[in-house]
């Protein structure tokens, strides 16, 4: 979310509030509206994961991966589409809906990821596996902070948002061929767990 507002430090310690000028210029939003985009994502992530954890336990990892990946892609698509409505009353509701769906899917995918990791590394190097998983997640965030503003300066905000959405969709589309490449036997621990 550092696309249009720098991640400055605010007295409340959240570090997600910018100066406000970039928010108004980039998306045509006030700083309060921009921060609402982050807040709805964070609150959704905090609340929905409880229900999604229950659903994943009942319906399985395969269900969780596909449903929550779909929510993530749909949310990022709505968010990117919302950028085309700059200056209209549709901008904020569309982007908020996108962030809500994205937060619902993204946080829930983390639960599925942790569940699969715990299964694969049961009894051996579990802490290392969680550490590596978290490191790669944070690496993505660091790369986002380094490259998104440069990409946005070169291609514009809308192409940047759609580029991020396409990268996410491409990643999700890899799930089907990988799953289909696994042998359909009971000896495959992945299939037993899914």
- The whole-number pLDDT of residue 125 equals 86
Helix, strand, or coil (residue 26)? helix
Domains of the chain as residue ranges with CATH: 21-193 (1.20.1250.20)
Whether 152 has a pLDDT exceeding 60, the answer reads yes
- The whole-number pLDDT of residue 24 equals 56
Q: Specify whether the CB–CB gap between 90 and 82 falls below 8 A.
A: yes
Whether 29 has a pLDDT exceeding 50, the answer reads yes
Angle, CA 104 vertex, CA 143 and CA 181 arms, to 5°:
70
Q: Specify whether the CB–CB gap between 103 and 45 falls below 8 A.
A: yes
All residues at 6 or more sequence positions from 119 whose CB lies less than 8 Å from its CB, including other chains = 189, 193
Q: Specify whether the CB–CB gap between 140 and 99 falls below 8 A.
A: no
Task: Quick: pLDDT tens for 47-91.
Answer: 899 999 999 999 888 888 889 989 999 999 999 999 888 888 898
- The pTM for the full model equals 0.75
Task: Quick: pLDDT tens for 162-186.
Answer: 888 888 788 777 766 655 544 443 3
Long-range contacts of 150-153 (CB under 8 A, 24+ apart): 152/3, 152/4
Retrieve residue 102's tokens.
Answer: 């994205």
Burial class (CB in 10 A: 0-12, 13-18, 19+), 119: middle
- The whole-number pLDDT of residue 2 equals 42
Q: Specify whether the CB–CB gap between 72 and 102 falls below 8 A.
A: yes
Work out the percent of the chain whose per-residue pLDDT is above 90.
Answer: 22
DSSP annotation of 186: T
Report how far residue 52's alpha carbon sits from residue 67's, in angstroms, rounded to the nearest whole number: 10
Q: Which residue has the higher pLDDT, 42 or 26?
A: 42
At 98, the pLDDT band (50, 70, 90 cuts) reads: very high
- The whole-number pLDDT of residue 63 equals 86
Mean per-residue pLDDT for 29-35? 86
Whether 19 has a pLDDT exceeding 50, the answer reads no
Of 21, 42, 16, 20, nearest in space to 31 by CA: 20
- The whole-number pLDDT of residue 176 equals 62
Q: Which residue has the higher pLDDT, 22 or 33?
A: 33
Query: Strands (DSSP E) along 52-159, which ranges?
Result: none
Distance of CA 142 to the CA centre of its chain: 14
Work out the percent of the chain whose per-residue pLDDT is above 70.
Answer: 76
Query: Beta-carbon neighbour count of residue 122 at 10 Å?
Result: 9
């Amino acid at each position: 979310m550092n696309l249009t507002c720098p991640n400055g430090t605010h007295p409340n310690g959240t570090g997600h509030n910018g100066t406000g000028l970039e928010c108004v210029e980039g998306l045509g939003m006030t700083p309060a509206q921009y921060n609402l985009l982050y807040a709805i994502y964070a609150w959704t992530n905090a609340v929905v994961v409880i229900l999604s954890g229950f659903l994943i336990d009942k319906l399985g990892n395969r269900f969780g991966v596909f449903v929550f990946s779909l929510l993530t892609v749909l949310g990022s698509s709505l968010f990117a589409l919302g950028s085309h409505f700059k200056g209209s009353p549709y901008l904020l509701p569309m982007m908020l809906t996108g962030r809500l769906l994205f937060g619902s899917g993204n946080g829930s995918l983390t639960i599925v990821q942790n569940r699969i990791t715990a299964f694969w590394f049961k009894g051996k190097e579990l802490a290392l596996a969680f550490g590596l998983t978290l490191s790669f997640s944070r690496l993505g965030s660091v790369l986002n902070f380094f490259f998104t503003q440069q990409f946005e300066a070169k291609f514009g905000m809308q192409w940047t948002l759609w580029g991020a959405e396409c990268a996410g969709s491409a990643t999700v589309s890899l799930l089907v061929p990988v799953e289909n490449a696994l042998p359909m036997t009971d000896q495959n621990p992945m299939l037993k767990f899914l």
